Amino acid sequence: MTLIPKHKQLVLFDGVCNLCNTSIQYIIRHDKKDVFLFAALQSDVGKEIIDKYAIDPSKTDSILLYVPEKGVKSKSTAALRIAKHLGFPVNVLVVYLIVPPFIRNAVYDLIARNRYKWFGKKEQCMIPTPELQSKFIGNTTA
């Protein structure tokens, strides 16, 4: 298993999704405590975590949050756990964790199912700029 430093959390995202890429850029700009590393779900690291946790990519194909020694969070739970670290006002969204996951995930799934139609899709995964390269791990294969 790829080693992720204990003080870091890994955000796995759909590397060809415009909404996901925009979200990753937002997280990078607001990650003032340098909590997150990133990898595309299509990368070797993404595939490794998907395999290790037996995740069905057809059911969870947009965002995962991997925390060493704590495992994987997906869908709305992952998004809200990420938001918690991004400062005010976005961090306030964590209060939505009190909403039952089946309700939160219904909204999340609606957006995820339509993300290519609404926001578009790239032909290949995002390639980080040299300045951001240290925040990304794994080799992208798609």
Separation of CA 135 from chain center:
13
pLDDT per position as a tens digit, 92-104: 999 999 999 999 9
Which residue carries 């809200």 as its tokens? Answer: 80
Of the pLDDT bands very low, low, confident and very high (cuts 50, 70, 90), residue 69 is confident
Mean pLDDT score of the chain, rounded to an integer?
Answer: 88
Q: Rounded distance, CA 118 to CA 108, Å?
A: 14
What number of other Cβ atoms are within 10 A of residue 93's Cβ? 15
pLDDT value for 1: 58
pLDDT value for 122: 80
Total-model pTM: 0.88
The ranges assigned to domains in the chain are: 9-125
Inform me whether the pLDDT recorded for 125 exceeds 80.
Answer: no
